[in-house]
Amino acid sequence: MDMEYKTESLDASFDIVARQDAADDKIKTLRTDVDEIRNRLDKVSRAAARPVLDGGQPARTAEVEGFVDGYLRSGRETELKSMSGMVPGDGGYAVPREIDAMIARTLSNISPIRQIAQVVQTGTAGYRKLITAGGTASGWVSETAARPETSTPAFHEIAPPTGELFANPAASQAMLDDAGFDLEMWLAGEIAAEFARAEGSAFVSGTGVDQPSGFLNSPLSTLDDAARGFGALQYIGSGDDIGFDSEPEARLIDLVHTLKASHRQGASWVMNSSTMAAVRKLKTTDGAFLWQPGMVEGQPDRLLGYPIVEAEDMPDIAAGECPIAFGNFRAGYLIAERSATAILRDPFTHKPFVHFYATKRIGGQVLDSEAIKLLRIEA
């Protein structure tokens, strides 16, 4: 009897051990599955958060893959079947949004006026905007008094002249056949550099004929905001017909305060490097420099407390020229552009080079003539 009890106890012990081993195995299996799931999630998370892949490029979509490797590298138009923005009637194919955004980012970084102006995206070639001259009439009344009729504001229509901006970078077929050649980044950089060079000149001094109308192309007047006609920019003279007079700081201070206080919030100076060199040498009557260098890397230099934007397309200091502009360009100048850039691949014109003819419609015009002031070289 005692022997049977011991046997049953021993069997029970073995059963407990077996069940414990089975439970341990299940726990190990479960941990393995959990670890595998975590690893997969971690890979997905890293892939989603990874900023660049494939030689410094963002992870490509199928659309970008077909456009870059199929069309740009090999010229296979059948690779564009997944694209909804094909516009062969316009002379090319609309680039995918990712590449267009890359061009836009690069363009914003190297185009000085674009950095400070107001930029709007349009779906058509034209853009129109109504603005009021002098604002809308208003007044004060008591709670129960009759509301007098306000006068009708005067409206002005802004329709920036537009033109087709183009760039035509070229690469050899050997470069395109090289899988290590970063075609996407190279093309975006080349197009943006050419666009920036051309539009920088147009935004400053464009004629308005098949191109934007630059702010220096506006009518000029010495009258203040209340007396000046709509669309004309106010300027003050430098006091000398070849440069600055004996008190240059007084002229620059006057220029600052011709701008309304509301516009001075966010205002900046615009001049080219030659003018900047001359301005850096200007001193006050007590010998202090007007120029204030940026104290932190990446912070712009300042003149009378306002940042300076270097635009090489501004004129040099010469009689009758306006080498210095001051104003709130986000309120004063409007850039209207179609968001789509079209690219036509041309492997035939200059063999063995392949040209990429890129086009984009861009317009520009002074939006608020009270927000930009000029310094003119005159006695």
Residue 129 domain flag: yes
Q: Are residues 202 and 345 in the same domain?
A: yes
Mean of per-residue pLDDT scores for the chain = 80
> Which region among 48-52, 194-198, 216-220 has the lowest average model confidence (pLDDT)?
48-52
Do 206 and 251 share a structural domain?
no
Q: Is residue 138 part of a domain?
A: no
Please report the pLDDT score of residue 371 as a whole number.
Answer: 94
Question: Residue 343 sits in which domain range?
Answer: 62-133+153-211+336-366
The confidence score (pLDDT) of residue 50 equals 43
Q: Is the pLDDT of residue 165 over 50?
A: yes
The terminus-to-terminus CA distance of the chain in angstroms comes to 129
Residues 311 and 199 in one domain: no
Q: Which residues pair with 283 in a beta bridge?
A: 289
- 258 shares its domain with 193: no
Residue 92 and residue 201 in one domain: yes
DSSP string, 127-163: --EEEEES--------SSS--PPPPPPEEEEE---EE
DSSP annotation of 114 reads H
Q: How far apart are CA 220 and CA 374, in angstroms?
A: 9
Taking the complete model, does pTM exceed 0.85, yes or no? no
What radius of gyration do the chain's Cα atoms show?
A: 33
Structure tokens at 235: 């300027």
pLDDT at residue 49, rounded to an integer: 46
Same domain, 255 and 202: no
Q: Are residues 343 and 230 in the same domain?
A: no
Please report whether residue 304 resides in a domain: yes
* Pairwise pLDDT comparison (137 vs 310), residue with the higher score: 310
259 plus 310 within the same structural domain:
yes
Q: Is residue 248, in this structure, part of any structural domain at all?
A: yes
Residue 207: the pLDDT is 93
The percent of residues above 90 in pLDDT, for the chain, comes to: 30
Count of domains forming the chain: 2
Whether the pLDDT of residue 173 is over 90: the answer is no
| CATH number of the CATH domain containing 253 | 3.30.2320
What per-residue confidence (pLDDT) applies to 54? 41
pLDDT tens readout for residues 81-129: 444 444 444 446 677 777 778 888 888 888 899 999 999 888 765 788 8
